[in-house]
Copies of this chain bind each other. A is one copy, B any other.
Amino acid sequence: MSKRSPELVDDSVVECCSPLASEVLTEKEAHDVARIFAALGDPVRLRLLSMIASSDEACSCNLEAPLGKSQPTVSHHTRILAEAGLIVGEKRGRWTWWRTVPDRLEMAARLLRP
């Protein structure tokens, strides 16, 4: 999909982490989890994710205008969300349709709340 850094966040993270409080994160766990939260740590990406989650499928063409960002910028952000495993894109005909990955959101939530 991309030449450099196709690197998705390791899937083992999904299994790995019981709530933060139960045990101290290792360095690797912290690194992987941080990438997920970092993806959530930008206002534009949060609104992007929010838009996708609200209408359970969204194509990029509907995202640029409400965000007020350029097409490359939107593409950049969808990529980061996708690499964090929070959304997935499916190309159908002309458009790419984005959906959230509930398991991933669930997993992130589980880290914060027992």
Contacts and interface: CB of A to CB of B under 8 A. Distances in A.
Interface size bucket, A side? 35 or more
B20 A53 contact: yes
Contacts of A24: 47, 50-51, 54, 66
A23 B54 contact: yes
A21 interface: yes
The quantity of this chain's copies bound in the complex is 2
A113 to B, nearest CB: 4
Contacts of A59: none
B49 A20 contact: yes
A8 interface: no
Interface in A29-56: 30-31, 33-35, 37-47, 49-51, 53-54, 56
A77 to B, nearest CB: 12
Interface of A: 19-25, 27, 30-31, 33-35, 37-47, 49-51, 53-54, 56, 66, 100, 105-106, 108-110, 112-113
